[in-house]
Amino acid sequence: MSGAAPAVPHFPRPAPIDAYGQGGFRFADMSHRGSLLCLPDGIWAWPVTQAGEIDESSLARVFENAQAIDTLILGTGRDIWRPEPALREALRAVQIVLDPMQTGSAITTYNIMLGEGRRVAAALIAV
């Protein structure tokens, strides 16, 4: 992981992802280069660039928001990735279901669940 996590979100509330590719995302009439955390308290830059960097530390903001999240959609880039059992257990301990998939599918799933008013978050690796 490179860089420190920002102190303020790019956008102060959840929003659907409008587009992705070329190393970034578009949402809420904004664009961002790099990976994203889409949480109930806002959309944040996420310094993860590959699935192997995903761990409890990189998901600290998810754990901080656990009381408002039922499902974490994990966009793993172009690769299919299986999380370590310890990460699944840590999320389960705070009552969050982890659903990893490629980033394109993750965006679609996140947007649908967000539109349904579900308690969803997404951690999306840029492609």
For the chain, the structural domain boundaries read 10-124
Question: Tens of pLDDT along 3-59?
Answer: 455 577 778 889 999 999 999 999 999 999 999 999 999 999 999 999 999 999 999
Fold of 10-124: Hypothetical Protein Mth938; Chain: A, (3.40.1230)
Percent of the chain predicted with pLDDT > 90: 88
pLDDT higher than threshold 50 for residue 115: yes
Strands 120-124 and 71-75: parallel
Residue 24 buriedness (CB in 10 A; 0-12 / 13-18 / 19+):
middle
With a CB cutoff of 8 Å and minimum separation 6, the contacts of 19 are 25, 26
Q: What is the mean pLDDT of residues 98-111?
A: 98
How far apart are alpha carbons 114 and 127 in whole angstroms? Answer: 21
Other beta carbons less than 10 A from residue 17's beta carbon = 23
pLDDT higher than threshold 80 for residue 103: yes
pTM: 0.92
Q: What is the reported pLDDT for 6?
A: 59
HSE toward the beta carbon, residue 120, CA cutoff 13 A = 21
Note whether 116 and 14 are within 8 A (CB).
Answer: no
